[in-house]
Structure 1
């Protein structure tokens, strides 16, 4: 399962971890993102505020961070944790979807930013809170909405609504599940399914005990991505970054599964979501981003040992290219 946060042991979490959230690869994030200490940066998935706290420490007093999150519980945790920065005007919080990045910046009167951080996935708090319905390891309502106050459908409602074919497509496309058709058939036969435990039991009956955990992770990932429209939100945010990050500014993305990472890698290389190279008269590649990480940065063995949920993280960094550099 894709995770954005980590272990709740603050001793192992480093200086910016908290019981709510442990920021993955925080040093690499800050070093990769900050080019102007007095600049304006957006943490578009602020979570428990770990990366934002590290950014604020790295910035000059006049430096500014805008923190966005869908989850009102995450924003409340940040308000408690970083109240001084909020009162000083260095941190501004917005409840919203990073898919709407441009509308949010317009509302704040911000034309361009110096850097954008996208830390994708789901937080430890969301995974550990059974009532949120993200985890198959605890029983709770099958919800999975990043914003539980939103009117959007829950995972349980979508399972009730989808045909067997539609469910199989979701499991195949978003979970890369090889038994998508078989599992979709079993889930549809078992409807209505209202809790995480009920869904987990249906899946376990269809696979061997050795395969159960990985299969459940793929099924729950697929449903979560569908409920929250995560890949489409990522694509919209990447396109917005090209228009809003200033030349010389940075884009930093932490992804946790191949569906996200492939999109990010392709976009940073070619500047579009189709992965189609655009070349000038001389055959030189024209792209709005210059990747600064030839390969994705991975957590160290020590970080993974202290923070097991960081093991799947992939960090990519790119710099916005001035139009004259492509001329």
Structure 2
């Protein structure tokens, strides 16, 4: 029987936090899920990693990344292909909802439940928070940052544009923000895109309750969920972003909204990014600093966000990615045909 949820994790990290991630998934209150791991170092450590799985009760799919659809010349000196890895995970996922986290994360027991509530309420995806500490005070301070327009979960904006991300993408007036001095903040409201009060199922009471949750303009790859049919509708994550780190999630969000997906932000749903000597940022581990501005198209760009802005404002109708392949068809292929 197919699971409702496919949890996806992609890694190129020499020392992922395997036990931390697997233990926190074992402790989830919601249990109808499979775990899909895409490992760029699969060929080097598959035997060692597979031994870890015997201690866990949930099904685990462990695979290597499919080939990138780029030439060797384009790939030389660039960053890992995260979009390709995410698309590999989609190919191997059976669930109707796909949820992503990063390879150094700790996941609270209600993490999956939070995403499933939004799915059950009829929405097509959700963004949660990510933070580097277990401190409740620090978490609350971090939540407040999400109220400011332009932060992680809102689409990149022009300086003169103070609309929230969804209203920018739809190019319509924005009733969701208010000015406080020089800053623009999201209002505290409980309505969806059409002005309807958002009702979320409460697992304990069995009733629908009002939930203070916001329409989102920018999913954040370390804690996000998307209805599988919408991932396939936009043909996956844009592989032109292979060769840089980040921003593939923000442009994917824009494509999802253009395709009609309804996405939400839940500031109470969080994961913890745990950093130490073995779990530094990718720039430090792989010495990518000289290639920060390089993209797979072989051109130099001002920054990841600037590149997304250009796509957002110049390609105003694009919602389908990767014209060189069909992700839906790839899900029906024999596995040996993918590699």
TM superposition score normalised by structure 1: 0.31
- Name the one with the larger helix percent: 1
